[in-house]
Amino acid sequence: MQKVVPSAHAARRVPARGAWSQRLQPYFYVVPAALFVTLFMLYPMVSTLWQSVTDANGLNAPRFVGLANYRAFLADPNTLNALRNSLLWVVGAVTLPVGLGFAFALLLERLPGAALFKSSVFLPYTISGTVAAILFGYVLDANNGLLNLLLQWLGLGSLTHRWLFESPQNTWSMIAAYTWQATGTNLMIFLIGLQGLPNEPLEAAKIDGASGWTYTRRILIPMLSPFITINVLMAAINGFKTFDLIWVMTQGGPARTSETLAVTMYRESFALFHQGYGAAIAVVISVIALVFSYGYLRTTFRQEAS
């Protein structure tokens, strides 16, 4: 009996058992992440974008109003003041926590037995923004606040202020509270970066005579640029979206002088029921954050490439 041997062409046409399951198997790992992104990121983004061009108020059926909410944003002095405060928050959040975290990392990396100080700097990050706001509310109280009492005890009564009731001192006071809470995480990220640096180029730089600020500027900062990028981006985004600390300490007051875009968005959406207008403010916040992130990353990558 002659044995029939299938041709190579026929063998290619007949898929092996389990071939389809092997081809589809990678997609089963992707589906949960795709569903998560679609449900919790893409859908809210599209929904917010649509709501921003309507007069939604949570009570009546929304009507399409085009760019009216964005025109109202540009014409409203309160939102422009909130934008100015938000930019001030970004500057403060990037400069103070990141700068102090970097300085402390350089100092503690060279000091033996600095674990206690590291823990004390990082500990405030473990508490919520609400707790930090309540704590600094007592410190900055106009009448019996710890800061004013300390200044009076030192004979510096002329420096006392109503820290949370005068602009722009109220914004800078809240940035100081945020700095106390956020410096720890920047410190830890920089310490991780310092511990992971290779020893050979560092020792070669020291042999060549690099020291002090020259050593930090020309050797450490370029080698730590990925960690600096992470901290700066996180600080900028957190500065834009800070809400709980501001709401607990001043609620954007007095007379809305310390409001940021995040606080204005909350007030318009949930206190005044201008949800379409609040969605437009959310879109503005997202666009500003994306533009800043894109510009900063592009500049950083160009510098690293050159």
pLDDT of residue 11: 47
User: Torsion over CA of 176, 88, 298 and 40, rounded to 10 degrees?
Assistant: 80
- With bands split at pLDDT 50, 70 and 90, how would you rate the model's confidence at 17? low
Residue among 125, 72, 93 nearest 237 (CA)? 93
Mean pLDDT of 211-227: 80
**3-state SS class at 54:** strand
The answer on pLDDT for 1 being more than 60 is no
Q: How far apart are CA 112 and CA 91, in angstroms?
A: 33
Confidence of residue 204 (pLDDT cuts 50, 70, 90): confident
pLDDT for the residue numbered 14? 47
Pull the structure tokens for residue 98: 């990141």
Q: Whole-angstrom Cα distance, residue 53 to residue 192?
A: 45
pLDDT at 202 (0 to 100): 74
DSSP 3-state assignment of 14? coil
Look up residue 254 and give its DSSP letter: S
Cβ(292)–Cβ(236) below 8 Å: yes
The model's pLDDT over 39-95, given as tens digits with 9 standing for 90+, comes to 777 788 888 889 999 988 878 888 999 899 999 999 988 888 898 999 999 999 999
What count of other Cβ atoms lies within 10 Å of the Cβ of residue 87?
16
Question: Which residues does residue 54 pair with via DSSP β-bridges, in sequence order?
Answer: 64
Q: How many residues make up the chain in this entry?
A: 306
- pLDDT confidence of residue 61: 85
**Whole-number pLDDT of residue 219:** 79
CB under 8 A, 24+ apart: contacts of 118-127: 118/187, 118/188, 118/191, 121/183, 121/184, 121/187, 122/184, 122/185, 122/187, 122/188, 123/184, 124/180, 124/181, 124/183, 124/184, 125/181, 125/182, 125/183, 125/184, 125/185, 127/181
Asked whether the beta carbons of 292 and 118 are under 8 A apart, the reply is no
In b/e form, how buried is each residue of 41-50, taking b as 16+ CB within 10 angstroms? eeeeeeebee
pLDDT in tens, 129-149: 889 999 998 898 888 888 888
pLDDT exceeds cutoff 90 at 179:
yes
- CA 187 and chain centroid, separation: 16
Distance CA 298, CA 204 (A): 30
Which of 54-63, 209-218, 220-229 is predicted with the least confidence, judged by mean pLDDT?
A: 209-218
Residue 37 near residue 251 (C-beta atoms within 8 A):
no
- Read off the amino acid at residue 75: A
Percent with pLDDT over 70 in the chain: 89
Categorize the per-residue pLDDT at 155 as very low, low, confident or very high, splitting at 50, 70 and 90.
confident
Tell me what pLDDT residue 70 has: 92
